């Protein structure tokens, strides 16, 4: 079994960076302890090693088939979903009351990272189910809960998120699927419409597929304010408990560049007007419920991107350690033995680049998970601030790993050279799979607008202030307690200062000018924010490493972390300068021109 | 037929930027005129439209097959090679004496760009053949010429470049294939060895495959100084003109992520000691001959990258013009009709990014072709300086389009969103095909070392000075004659000044320190050089456009060029700041650490 993630790194982040021990003392998590978590991650690793990893390439080469209106997936998926159900992985974050594990999100995120690194496409099925189940659990009626949640948690049914339509992708306000009441209680509706790009939207590894769907109740307002959330199963129960088909038709399956083992389908609802949907929560509030699932899914996308990047990193690292090619630049003797390519500066640069992206991303994602846990379990008076910081960081934690992951898996290919471009190694598969992440759960452009146009300005900038305080706390800690790192603390402080300045400048534009001027370069702002946020996470990670070195507990792991932090501050953080140069410019090319003059 | 390149842009570059008219007055090109060139490019366009483009996706989906030691390619390849032969495309740059077209390289490069944009994989076959034929024509004996060149030029035989071996990829000095003399004239040798990653190295669309191969004559020195160049055909003629197999065995075919229609094979030579190779030129001088072919191939790789980028650009541009989604940020009415996504600032940014990469790259490549033509046909006293400038720019013109093409095709996917990730559109294919170009004909890392470690310092920096003078000439022209552009001239001047400074600084390091210190960040230096060189090309292109506008001849084409130039200076040129910040740092992380501490 080739290495595809670092368990030591997961343990390091959990214990030495995010102080899991303290978290586990909080009321709702106190049934868990560090030993229990260790065992759980051991189990996750075994599951990944035995049931996921060995099928990674096979599933890529053997796409799901769509025949006679049915989607047939790899037989291992059924086995896997059963194992995920039995192992409690789908209900990991659910409360004990409903049979869940009540596990901190930071811990289940580590397991998800392992699963994604082992076999990304396969890891998507249970992840989607978990999200759907938690949404029903939190906002659904008792009847919906008892009908759907247990079957979802035990892996016999599949959950999905059904939002996108042919004319409503990024623009959710254009959702046209309709819902018409079938009873007087406002619970059962007749659904009609089309949904596209639905992951795991139909397949033969489960007994039923349960769609969490956005639709518009007839008479509701236009735009996102008129969207309601429904449970729309593929098969439903009649009043006398018979199972009948619910008029949900799979009209097509997409053929994708990667991420192939999970079928993405086009669904048609209510062609015969026999499709029932069950309202969740209040009418017209669907988007706010859906956002709970979407926000989790966004963090999930970031985790998936980081996990694929991890597999590519280890693939290329192990190759670089074993592949002899060339000699040192100062070696003049052509008879001298070739050296392994890990000795070449350029290969090292590409390795550090990958490691800085993958482990920096993972750290930010676990930071988000930590905030989510604290917002759930922490003291009442500070919950809100954790929630806000998580909200602010969600677009960053989704987009940085996804965008940079394209480059980091590309660097992995480059290290292998021609071999990296061929199917003998899984690296090219990682590169193909990575490319989906800047698209699903909101494109990078949408997240730029979310960050700058919504999260930065919300509550008069309260979340942004909370974020800068968190970063400043880390810088201060370094300055006072880990003097060896203070040079990097100063660099981060500079970058943070410049981020604050440009944020202020943009906020002024927001007040004075049209929204389109304010948001013109929102994607670049998101990129800038990401580089600074990951710099913060590297400094944060460096603290326990430097302390270990100072206390003579240093080892290769800690040194490698310190080298990567140094790499990041030398090679990656300067990229902020280029972005800031642009953001400071007053040129409004993108708004001033006529579309006819793009040709 | 969907648009995949801009003919107007090719005409613009040929006539308005690189003054083809003057070139055609030079002796060796004077049989051609502008009308003739127009017709030729019309013909190239028709060939691409009818025989290449319609097969692009089909060839991707139906890889060559390797069965019973034979490679079977798409039947259209045979037809295409015949058409290429008949049309004189393979012999385009060959002299009239040998039946060639004696066409300027800048013109044939435009044709190659069209072919690559239509169907990259298919365009590789004739391109490789042309390179091999020209090499034999220039350095081979009369017998080799008469035996091989006509069949190569008419498309009935395939030419290849056979360098890479299992233990000698980037490190050519480790080539182990041997050659043992079979006669006393030193012309025929017995060849034994393995070659891997040989493009079009075996297939059934031709009667013979002719390898131009590097091997070491027994007793020759180690390293690159002991390499000789051989013609090694798959089938050879006996003394009594019988055709016999030449003991060349195809032992495997690679399965690649993209670039699928061209088979890349593993070859074994002389397993039965019956493989004959025919020496080209002098023993031990093989690498210098091969470099002629390699340098052309490197410009060819740049052209291919730019051409794939062009197809992706037009694919995403046309989608953006027709796909309605969302509303302007300041639009509050959800009932307002959706706008086409080309109206969104972020989509425009991604379009300009692509256009700036594709057309900037193409311009630099035609600049190189122009230098190559002048080095061949220009006045004796300045030939050398053109040759040197071409030498200097070759690694840049190969690497910038290849590296940036990964990002530009990625931006094309992003514009299409989920649709871009699916096989219904060819964009995902372009993304996969683009990824080979930073690898073949020398990885980007190798080109960084070539640029900084060889080209910059050669002749005491003469080529670098010539380059900076060329750029300065453009800046001066703008300052004096096209005052509207002087702001951009100043920006380029700043960037050039900083490039000169950092070059000087690195040259000092080269004199004082170990080579490995000097070359540590050569890849970043190459990247920096590329951004400046493309900025130069954008300013150069802007001149005739601004003049046209000033003379009231302005139109959408010229305005679009000016917008893209402005985009480049606003969004791309600032990236130099980040790279320079790193290159100015004295941190030597990449050299100081132990490989065990990368984990």
- Is residue A217 helix, strand or coil? strand
Chain A residues near residue B598 by CB distance under 8 angstroms: 317, 342, 348, 351-352, 355, 560, 563
Who among B326, B443, B578 is closest to A574 (CB)?
B578
What single string gives the DSSP state of each residue in B200-249? T-S-TTSSEEEEEEEEEETTPPSSGGGEEEEEEESEEE-TTS-EEE-SEE
Helix or strand holding residue B443 (H, E): none
Rounded-to-integer distance, Cα A579 and Cα B470, Å: 29
Tens of pLDDT, residue by residue over A166-222, are 999 889 999 999 999 999 888 999 999 999 999 999 999 999 999 999 999 999 999
Does the beta-carbon distance from B342 to A597 stay under 8 Å? no
User: Which residues of A are less than 8 Å from B521 in CB distance?
Assistant: 345, 349
For residue A420, the distance in angstroms to the closest alpha carbon of chain B comes to: 9
**What pTM, to 2 d.p., does this model score?**
0.98
Look up B441 and say whether it is catalytic: yes
Among A61, A589, A592, most B C-beta atoms within 10 A, so best to mutate, is A589
pLDDT per residue, tens digit, chain B (599 aa), is 469 999 999 999 999 999 999 999 999 999 999 999 999 999 999 999 999 999 999 999 999 999 999 999 999 999 999 999 999 999 999 999 888 999 999 999 999 999 999 999 999 999 999 999 999 999 999 999 999 999 999 999 999 999 999 999 889 999 999 999 998 888 999 999 999 999 999 999 999 999 999 999 999 999 999 999 999 999 999 989 899 999 999 999 999 999 999 999 999 999 999 999 999 999 999 999 998 888 889 999 999 999 999 999 999 999 999 999 999 999 989 899 999 999 999 999 999 999 999 999 999 999 999 999 999 988 888 899 999 999 999 999 999 999 999 999 999 999 999 999 999 999 999 999 999 999 999 999 999 999 999 999 999 999 999 999 999 999 999 999 999 999 999 999 999 999 999 999 999 999 999 999 999 999 999 999 999 999 999 999 999 999 999 999 999 999 999 999 999 999 999 999 999 999 999 999 999 999 999 99
Mean pLDDT of chain A: 96
Among residues A441, A484, A527, A551, the one annotated as catalytic is: A441
Burial string for A107-121 (b: 16+ CB within 10 Å, else e) reads bbbbbbbbbbbbbbb
Q: What is the pLDDT of residue A1?
A: 47
Chain A, nearest residue to B436 by Cα:
A421
- The residue of A9, A313, A318, A571 whose CB has the most chain B CBs within 10 angstroms, and thus the best one to mutate to test that interface, is A571
Cβ distance of B522 and A453 shorter than 8 Å: no
Quote the minimal CA–CA distance from A452 to chain B in Å.
Answer: 13
Q: Is A439's CB within 8 Å of B428's CB?
A: no
Class of CATH domain A7-153: mainly alpha
Report domain extents, chain B: 7-153, 159-284, 444-586
Structure-block tokens of residue B95: 């002299």
CA B82 from centroid of its chain's CA atoms: 24
B436 contact residues in A (CB cutoff 8 A) = 421
Percent of chain A with pLDDT over 90: 95
Minimal CA separation from A572 to chain B, in Å? 8
Contact, A351 vs A415, CB < 8 A?
yes
A-to-B residue pairs, Cβ atoms closer than 8 angstroms: 275
pLDDT at B380: 87
* Level-2 CATH architecture, domain B159-284: Beta Barrel (2.40)
Q: Alpha-carbon distance B15 to A599, whole Å?
A: 19
Report the first-to-last Cα separation within chain B, whole angstroms. Answer: 50
Q: Assess if CATH 2.40.110.20 describes domain A158-284.
A: yes
| Residue B373 φ/ψ region, left for φ over 0, alpha for ψ in the -120 to 50 degree band, beta for the rest | alpha
Q: How far is the CA of B369 from the CAs of A304, B105, B110, B112, in angstroms?
A: 45, 6, 10, 12
Q: Do A329 and B414 touch (CB under 8 A)?
A: no
User: Which of B51, B441, B527, B572 is labelled catalytic?
Assistant: B441
**Nearest chain A CA: its distance from B207 CA (Å):** 28
**List of chain A residues whose C-beta atoms are within 8 Å of the C-beta of residue B349:** 521, 523, 590
Question: Do B590 and A406 count as a contact with CB atoms less than 8 A apart?
Answer: no
| Contact (CB, 8 A) for A355 and B199 | no
Positions of chain A with pLDDT under 50: 1
CA-based end-to-end distance of chain A: 50
Contact between chains at A422 and B256 (C-beta distance less than 8 A) = yes
Strand (E) or helix (H) holding A564: helix A556-567
Cβ–Cβ gap A522/B566 under 8 Å: no
CB contact under 8 A, B445 and A346: yes
């Amino acid at each position: 079994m080739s290495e595809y993630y670092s368990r030591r790194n997961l343990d390091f982040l959990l214990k030495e960076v995010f102080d899991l021990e303290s978290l586990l003392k909080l009321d709702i998590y106190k049934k868990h302890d560090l030993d229990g978590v260790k065992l759980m991650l051991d189990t996750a690793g075994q599951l990944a090693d035995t049931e996921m990893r060995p099928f990674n390439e096979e599933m890529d080469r053997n796409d799901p088939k769509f025949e006679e209106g049915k989607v047939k997936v790899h037989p291992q998926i059924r086995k896997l979903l059963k194992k995920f159900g039995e192992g409690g992985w789908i209900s990991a974050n659910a409360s004990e009351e409903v049979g869940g594990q009540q596990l901190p999100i930071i811990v289940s995120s580590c397991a998800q990272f392992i699963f994604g690194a082992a076999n990304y496409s396969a890891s998507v099925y249970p992840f989607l189910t978990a999200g759907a189940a938690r949404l029903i659990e939190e906002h659904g009626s008792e009847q919906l809960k008892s009908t759907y949640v247990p079957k979802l948690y035990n892996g016999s049914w599949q959950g999905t998120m059904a939002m996108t339509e042919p004319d409503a992708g990024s623009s959710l306000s254009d959702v046209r699927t309709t819902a018409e009441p079938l009873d007087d209680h406002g619970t059962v509706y007749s659904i009609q419409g089309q949904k596209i790009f639905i992951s795991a939207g139909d397949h033969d590894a489960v007994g039923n597929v349960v769609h969490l769907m956005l639709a518009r109740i007839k008479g509701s307002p236009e735009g996102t304010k008129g969207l309601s959330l429904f449970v729309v199963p593929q098969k439903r129960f009649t009043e006398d408990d018979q199972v009948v088909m619910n008029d949900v038709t799979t009209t097509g399956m997409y053929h994708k560049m990667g991420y192939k083992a999970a079928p993405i389908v086009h669904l048609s609802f209510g062609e015969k007007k026999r499709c029932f949907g069950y309202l969740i929560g209040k009418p017209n509030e669907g988007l706010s419920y859906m956002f709970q699932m979407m926000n989790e899914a966004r963090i999930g996308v970031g985790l998936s991107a980081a996990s694929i990047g991890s597999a590519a990193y280890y693939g290329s690292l192990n190759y670089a350690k074993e592949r002899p090619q060339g000699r040192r630049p100062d070696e003049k003797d052509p008879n001298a033995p070739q050296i392994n390519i890990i000795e070449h500066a350029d290969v090292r640069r590409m390795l550090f680049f990958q490691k800085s992206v993958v482990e920096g991303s993972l750290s930010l994602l676990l930071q988000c998970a930590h905030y989510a846990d604290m917002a759930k379990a922490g003291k009442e008076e500070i919950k809100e601030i954790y929630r806000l910081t998580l909200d602010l960081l969600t677009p960053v934690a989704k987009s940085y790993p996804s965008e940079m992951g394209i480059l980091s898996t590309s660097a992995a290919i480059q290290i292998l050279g021609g071999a990296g471009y061929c199917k003998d190694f899984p690296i090219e598969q990682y590169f193909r799979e990575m490319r989906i992440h800047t698209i699903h759960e909101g494109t990078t452009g949408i997240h730029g607008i979310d960050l700058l146009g919504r999260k930065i300005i919300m509550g008069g900038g309260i979340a942004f202030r909370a974020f800068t305080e968190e970063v400043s706390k880390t810088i201060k800690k370094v300055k006072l307690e880990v003097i060896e790192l203070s040079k990097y603390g100063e660099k981060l402080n500079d970058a943070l200062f410049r981020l604050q300045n440009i944020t202020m400048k943009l906020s002024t534009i927001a007040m004075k000018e049209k929204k389109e001027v304010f948001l013109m370069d929102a994607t670049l702002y998101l990129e800038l924010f990401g580089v600074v946020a990951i710099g913060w996470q590297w400094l944060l990670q460096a603290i326990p490493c430097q302390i270990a070195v100072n206390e003579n507990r240093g080892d290769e792991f800690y040194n490698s972390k310190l080298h990567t932090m140094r790499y990041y501050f030398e090679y990656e953080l300067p990229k902020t300068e280029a972005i800031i140069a642009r953001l400071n410019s007053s040129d409004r090319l993108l708004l001033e021109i006529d579309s006819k003059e793009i040709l």
